[in-house]
Structures are given as C-alpha cells and as structure tokens.
Amino acid sequence: MSRLEKGTKVPFMGLDKAAEQELAIALADALRAELGSRSVAKTVARWTGVSDRAVKKWLAGKTVPGGMHLVALMRHSDQVLAAVLKAAGRS
C-alpha cells in the first residue's frame, strides 16, 4: 500500500461540548430575535431546505446547523451572522 492510499490521520480540533452547546443556544436566540415568535420554524425551514424537525432542534438549542445550512442561515439573518462571528472570535 502506498503512502497516499494510507493517508494521514489529523486530530479534529473542533468545539468541545460546552462550546457547541453555547453556540447552539446563541444561534437559537439569534433566530428568535430576528424572526420573532410566529412561523419561525417554517421560515427557517424554507431558508435552509431542511425538515421542521431539524429546525425545531436548532431552535431548542439542542443541535447546531451543519456547514451549508449554517451558511444559508447567515445569508438570510444578520443576527445569526453576528453570533457566528462572535463565536469565532471575530468582529
């Protein structure tokens, strides 16, 4: 087996559980602040193309949207963009 076939294992330096939970809550708060209380889940589902069930988990602060869904949320919501930049330590 060649070196290219074996690959190199690089440790994932992602968020720890506490930071991920904090980000999930910040995103949920940002979405509620931006959209108010009516039809939040349906609006977010339309923006991202995901199910209502997934959106409800995001709004409850249980999970964080994945890559392209997070980008879609940032495209539509200034508050989500600000929350992500704050979590990244950027202004």
Q: For the chain, what is the radius of gyration of the CA atoms?
A: 16
What string of pLDDT tens digits covers the 91 residues of the chain? 555 566 666 666 666 888 899 999 999 999 999 998 788 999 999 999 999 999 999 999 999 999 999 999 999 999 999 999 999 999 7
- If residue 71 lies in a helix (H) or strand (E), which one and from where to where? helix 67-76
| Separation between Cα atoms, residue 11 and residue 86, nearest integer Å | 24
| Domains, the chain, ordered by start | 15-87 (1.10.260)
What is the per-residue pLDDT for 26?
Answer: 96
